[in-house]
Amino acid sequence: MKRLVLGLLSLIGILSLVIVVRAVCFNSRQITVSPAARIHFDKAAASERLSRAIQFRTVSTPDSVQSSSTEFERFHEFLKEAFPRIGGQLGNETVGGHSLLYTWKGQDSALKPILLMAHMDVVPATGDGWRYPPFSGALAEGYVWGRGAMDDKAGVMAILEAAEFLLGDGFIPKRTIYLAFGHDEEIGGYRGAAKIAELLRSRGVELDFLLDEGMNIFHGVVPGISTPVALIGTAEKGYLSLQLSAETPGGHSSIPPADTAIGIVSRALSRLETRPFPSRLIGATRQMLEFLGPEMSWTNRLALANLWLFDPLVRKQLARSPLVNAVIRTTLAPTIFQAGATDNVLPTDATAVINLRLLPGDTITGAVDHVRRVINEPQVNITPLPAPIEASGVSDINSRGFRIIARTVREIFPPALVAPALLVAETDARHYAGLTKNIFRFLPILLGPEDTRRYHGNDERISIDDYERCIRFYAQLIRNSQR
Ligand SMILES: [Zn+2]
């Protein structure tokens, strides 16, 4: 007995030692750099140009493709005027109707090109509840306001400002730089980004890396860290909607049968809600914890440095926040429910739609199987809706591309931390998957807890100081990418 107790105690001792040693050796992954030298440009004039860009109603809805056509043409004319050096010195092609591809030829064709991208279209905005009209591009209170100020005309314009500045500065790239701006990202990017990617593929282009919009720099949003955190999207979730339906004979509601159409579909939804997809700390999310863990308090470090032991505990804790829950599992949400029309008639059918966002590693086929298994009811028909999207691969954080982006963030936004992360939405970047494995999704703007709702919401805005840093980021990134 004594020997058993002693054995047990020494086992606990060894275990504790391992845990503590791992936490102590959980070193910071942040690279040390000096802040970049400030470049000088007229930030008031740049903000004015962003304001003008917002005033073009380049709105994307499934049936706006025709009606927005003239707005895109006018916007392109404006870009020519606003950026004369780019117009004169870069190759410029219109692709898929209204998307733009600029080619900034490098001196050394043996080096793989990089691609910076953003999208020119925006989601609709009615103006209800906005502080300034959404297409006014109001310059007020130190901000540029309007639809596209964050998503994603700030990206388009900041990339162009950076290129125009560098051309004026006499910069000549060794490595070719592509600038690609889609015109239908908000409705899938099939006419724009997909066509540009196809064109580049037909020319045999292989990219060193690409940077698209995606995640941002978050301040006061990541629990346990008070420093701003730049999250670089190294993967994105997939998208799948399933229709669940049941048919029954119907009849009068005064003599109801045991099973009704509404009851069957409701039961299916209830089972799905009580048995979610399993959570997993893998891929981009696991890497995020490895990057952020060393920057956290001692207790958090103990747990995150020892995921081999605390994985289930950490997952349980993380799942409490819907925001974090979304990056550790495939999520499922009922979005449509239709059945019945009259209060005393049993409907013959009931239909629901569930929207799934697939964790990289989960497939469309696997998700459908899971749903079928959980519902476990032959009377429920499960039909996938058109155009599902598989989850992306995970980009390599040891690649040159990731290192260059991380370095640039640290140079322009000190003391911001950098971490890879999983994006829960889709971007145009996925269309380029065949051109490079190194796809990154990040727009360098600072967001506080109140700001994420502005994406596709009211009062979208960017501060003039933030926009200036955004331009400096792209200029520095282009320079750094040449090494
Ligand atoms: Zn966007």
Can you tell me the distance from the alpha carbon of 431 to that of 331, in angstroms, rounded to the nearest whole number? 23
Cα 155 to ligand 1 centre (Å): 9
Confidence (pTM):
0.93
Tell me what the pLDDT averaged over the chain comes to.
95
Can you tell me the distance from the alpha carbon of 280 to that of 234, in angstroms, rounded to the nearest whole number? 17
Return the pLDDT at 295: 95
Portion of the chain with pLDDT greater than 70, in percent: 100
Can you tell me the distance from the alpha carbon of 340 to that of 261, in angstroms, rounded to the nearest whole number? 9
Cα 151 to ligand 1 centre (Å): 5
- Of the candidates 151, 161, 184, 185, the residue annotated as catalytic is 185
Q: Is 185 a catalytic residue?
A: yes
Q: Is 77 a catalytic residue?
A: no
pLDDT band for position 290 (50/70/90)?
A: very high
Say yes or no to pLDDT of 15 above 90.
no
- Of the candidates 71, 121, 186, 466, the residue annotated as catalytic is 121
Cα 280 to ligand 1 centre (Å): 27
Cα 187 to ligand 1 centre (Å): 10
The tens digit of pLDDT for each residue in 197-214 reads: 999 999 999 999 999 999
The tens digit of pLDDT for each residue in 363-416 reads: 999 999 999 999 999 999 999 999 999 999 999 999 999 999 999 999 999 999
Cα 120 to ligand 1 centre (Å): 9
Lowest model confidence (mean pLDDT) among 173-177, 246-250, 466-470: 246-250
Return the pLDDT at 231: 97
Write the secondary structure of 81-96 as one string of H (helix), E (strand) and C (coil).
HHCHHHHHHCEEEEEC
Cα 87 to ligand 1 centre (Å): 25
Q: φ, ψ for residue 145 (rounded to 5)?
A: -110, 145
